[in-house]
Amino acid sequence: MPTYGPPFPGSSEPWQQPEQVYFEDVEEGMELPPKTKGPLTVTDMVVFSGATGDFAFIHHDREHAKGPGGLPDIILHGQCKLAFMTHVVTDWIGLEGRIKKLGGNYRGMDVVGDTVVSQGRVKRKFTENGENLVELDLWNENNRLGSTVTGSATVSLPSRSSR
Amino acid sequence: MTTDSSEFTISDELKSLVGREIDLGIAVVEAGAIAKFADAIKDPNPLYRDEEYAKGTPYGGIIAPPTFIHCFRDVGYARFNLEPLPWEKTTGLNGGNEFEIYGPMRPGDVITGKAKLVDIYARQSRSLGPMLFHIVEMTYTNQNNEMLGKQRSIGITYEAKE
């Protein structure tokens, strides 16, 4: 039985301080380093339920998820899917970048045994009211289903010239 | 899950709930809850756990991950009493969440949440039948009356099977 705490079972790597990205370094079409989570276990889902208090039965009770829920199995929480996706952004923008907006739509259900790879790509960079902003396309790729979350974010980044 | 044409008709009574606002109450951000959330999302960043490390960063101390507000089941997540529904027993799904973020939440922050029901509409799912979508906008303010963020959520309610 895995114990919890870094480095996490099913997470891609132990933590390393990511190198700070600057606005000047960003190009449209650039891909962000992906994050892999999984294969997902029942424990992963219960840990998220415990951390958030989200005890909707579809996330921990297989009999109920398949019966009254009408679902293929217990499914990963939408907010956990989104947080996996957000992890790509927080590591990329580093300590000096800021998330202005971020969101996702849940298009498919991640179940026990699935592996989820969260990914991102630079859509546009622009300056507005003196802020260096970058729009990102974000998504989670499930090994069985393809994309299970499609999302986007707007972030601000530091500039080399203002250092 | 695929949705196409809308099927059942939403009653005027249900539709009249759109625009309703509710207070979600107050919650205190705790360092332990932040670390547990970071564990659950498999993010090993010490910014969420290690005060010594966090002090040396531009944040000057531990902060919560961007979507941490979900940890508060009352303040973070609005439940409107959606009645009358055409079904006796219902279950739900989360269709999506969008955040606007103005500042990080920190240990000790006292967060006040408010929510507004902004839309209700019907959709047909191929696998799960008719569904009611409810769109809610929430705001989160700290003890200094600074708005830290907003959330827009897509809730889905449908008839429980069997």
Q: Please give the residue range of the domain that contains residue A41.
A: 26-162
Interval A118-137: pLDDT, tens: 999 999 999 999 999 999 99
**A residues 65-104 closer than 8 Å to B (CB):** 67-70, 77-80, 82-84, 86-87, 89-91, 95-96, 98-104
Residues 6+ apart with CB under 8 A from A132: A23, A125, A156, A157, A158, A159
Query: What is the domain-level CATH number for residue A79?
Result: 3.10.129.10
Q: Distances from the Cα of B109 to the Cαs of B10, B33, B64, B81, B103, in angstroms?
A: 40, 12, 11, 29, 12
SS3 B98: strand
Interval B54-78: pLDDT, tens: 999 999 999 999 999 988 877 777 7
Distance CA A148, CA B1 (A): 10
Domain map of chain B by residue range? 12-29+78-159
- Looking at residue B83, its pLDDT comes to 86
Tell me the pLDDT band of A1, cut-offs 50, 70 and 90.
Answer: very low
Q: Do A70 and B161 make contact, defined as CB atoms within 8 angstroms?
A: yes
Q: Mind telling me how many Å the CA of B159 is from chain A's nearest CA? A: 8
Tokens representing residue A21 in the block: 């990205």
A7 domain residue, yes or no: no
Residue of chain B with shortest Cα separation from A9 = B42
Distance CA A115, CA A99 (A): 26
In the predicted model, residues of chain B with pLDDT beneath 50 are: 1-6
Instruction: Report CA B76 to chain centroid distance, whole Å.
Output: 5
A154 domain residue, yes or no: yes
Q: Which residues of A are less than 8 Å from B95 in CB distance?
A: 78, 105-106
**B143, B58, B81: which is closest to A94 by C-alpha?**
B58
Please give the DSSP secondary-structure letter assigned to residue A111: B
A1 domain residue, yes or no: no
- ipTM of the modeled complex: 0.92
Task: Classify residue A11 by burial, with Cβ atoms within 10 Å: 0-12, 13-18, 19+.
Answer: buried
Q: Which CATH number fits domain B12-29+78-159: 3.40.605.10, 3.40.1710.10, 3.10.129.10, 3.90.1150.10?
A: 3.10.129.10
A2 domain residue, yes or no: no
A12 domain residue, yes or no: no
